[in-house]
């Protein structure tokens, strides 16, 4: 057989293995939590117009571990200091968790906190529209809370317009 054909077949086989592994890792690319195979529930919401001087705005989301096995929460954090989250699972509460490096909120190494398959839990997400000062009035923002587990990351996202 021609060496060129063998090289070509070998290269195609390697590319197929890499593609399959990468697509399995991502878990698909549709839905609010592309790449997450364990987090189910409403993970994206809109706050609409939020008054700058109106105080903290809190939303509680019901979530479920939809995986076939337990997931272990390893880290929880937000992408901005104006956003924090508290997780409730049965009688247990952890948090609040915020942006890494902010001293007033919990920081996490490894939580080692397991959620069994089918278990429901809640995420209470709090947004402070005044956290960035008056310059944020009139701004539309998108914020995110990330829950990292041994089975991948899940994200809760929301938008708000500060008035």
pLDDT tens digits, 45-93: 999 999 999 999 999 999 999 999 999 888 899 999 999 999 998 888 8
Judge whether 33 and 39 are in contact, CB under 8 Å. Answer: yes
Integer Cα distance of 158 and 116 in angstroms? 26
CA neighbor of 40 nearest in space, from 67, 68, 72, 64: 64
Integer Cα distance of 50 and 161 in angstroms? 6
CA neighbor of 87 nearest in space, from 79, 101, 77: 77
pLDDT confidence tier of residue 113, bands split at 50, 70 and 90: confident
pLDDT at 93: 85
pTM value surpassing 0.85? no
pLDDT at 82: 94
């Amino acid at each position: 057989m021609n060496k060129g054909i063998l090289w070509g077949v070998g290269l195609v086989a390697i590319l197929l293995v890499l593609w399959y592994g990468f697509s399995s890792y991502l878990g698909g690319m549709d839905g609010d939590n592309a790449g997450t195979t364990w987090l189910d529930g409403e993970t994206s919401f809109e706050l609409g117009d939020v008054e700058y001087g109106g105080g903290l705005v809190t939303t509680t989301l019901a979530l479920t571990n939809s995986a076939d096995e337990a997931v272990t929460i390893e880290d929880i954090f937000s992408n901005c200091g104006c956003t924090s989250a508290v997780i409730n699972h049965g009688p247990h509460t952890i948090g609040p968790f915020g942006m890494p490096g902010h001293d007033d909120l919990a920081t996490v190494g490894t939580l080692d906190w397991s959620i069994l398959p089918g278990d429901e839990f809640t995420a209470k997400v709090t947004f402070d529209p005044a956290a960035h000062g008056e310059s944020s009035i009139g701004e539309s923002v998108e914020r995110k809370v990330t829950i990292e587990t041994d089975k991948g990351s899940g994200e809760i996202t929301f938008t708000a317009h500060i008035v």
